[in-house]
Amino acid sequence: MTVIIDTGCANFASVQFALKRLGCNAQISADPATILSADRLILPGVGSAQAAMQKFTERGISELLPQIEQPLLGICLGMQLLGEFSQEGNTALPGLLPVQTERLHANGQPLPHMGWNRIGNFDHPLFSGINHGDYVYFVHSYAVPVGELTIAQSNYGQPFSAAIGRDNLLGVQFHPERSSAVGARILKNFLEISL
């Protein structure tokens, strides 16, 4: 069973629909027992890190996340929330991965970074069947800098982590559910990946 974690700060319907098109009937839940018994987890998020952490605390998700051992995919803000700290509101995060989120230095380009952009520099099973230079859909003003846990990159005025990962934890800064066939393939890879 795949569970979409109900963070209270995401559009679950689009993620659920994208998974359904792949034959996966994902359940949306904030129930700790349901989350911990899932085969796979998806952590979507939109909005600000500060508001998301408030919802996490209210729902007990902050305490639950360190217990997760199954594959987890964070999407957009959900990826950032796997880290330790966000410059957005100077927000402390759960710290599952040793990364920090910084405001994009877009070098004169408008923020948020919104629309289609290329991904590349990847060598991870999450990107099986994806070509370097394929396009995915982004909406964000903050990003994780390229570092040791970067498993895919993009560029918007500066290089940034389009995806991060370690062990069972994966995150994508883009929205696979809005990224057409490329995004569908990435979601399919996540559903089939063994970590």
CA distances from 134 to 51, 91, 117, 166 (A): 32, 32, 8, 23
- Whether residue 10 is predicted with pLDDT greater than 80 in this model: the reply is no
Measured in degrees and rounded to the nearest 5, phi and psi for residue 172 equal: -125, 135
Catalytic residue among 9, 76, 113, 140: 76
Residue 107 Rama label (left phi>0; alpha psi -120 to 50; beta) = left
Mean pLDDT of 42-57: 91
| Annotation marks residue 148 as catalytic | no
Of the pLDDT bands very low, low, confident and very high (cuts 50, 70, 90), residue 70 is very high
- Whether residue 195 is predicted with pLDDT greater than 80 in this model: the reply is no
Ranges 43-52, 88-97, 145-154, 169-178: which has the least confidence: 43-52
Q: How many CA atoms lie within 13 A of 177 on its CB side?
A: 22
- Whether residue 95 is predicted with pLDDT greater than 90 in this model: the reply is yes
Q: Could you say which architecture CATH assigns to the domain 2-192?
A: 3-Layer(aba) Sandwich (3.40)
Ranges 16-20, 57-61, 146-150, 158-162: which has the least confidence: 57-61
**Cα(173)–Cα(141) distance, integer angstroms:** 11
Q: Looking at residue 113, what is its pLDDT?
A: 98
| Annotation marks residue 113 as catalytic | no
**Cα(174)–Cα(153) distance, integer angstroms:** 11
Q: Looking at residue 69, what is its pLDDT?
A: 96
Of the pLDDT bands very low, low, confident and very high (cuts 50, 70, 90), residue 21 is very high
Q: What pLDDT, in 10s, does the model give residues 104-156?
A: 998 999 999 999 999 999 989 999 999 999 999 999 999 999 999 999 999 99
HEC string of the chain equals: CEEEECCCCCCHHHHHHHHHHCCCCCEEECCHHHHHHCCEEEEEECCCHHHHHHHHHHHCHHHHHHHCCCCEEEEEHHHHCCCCEECCCCEECCCCCCCEEEECCCCCCCCCEEEEEECECCCCHHHCCCCCCCEEEEEECEECCCCCCEEEEEECCCEEEEEEEECCEEEECCCHHHCHHHHHHHHHHHHHCCC
Catalytic residue among 132, 148, 175, 192: 175
| Annotation marks residue 24 as catalytic | no
Q: Looking at residue 167, what is its pLDDT?
A: 97
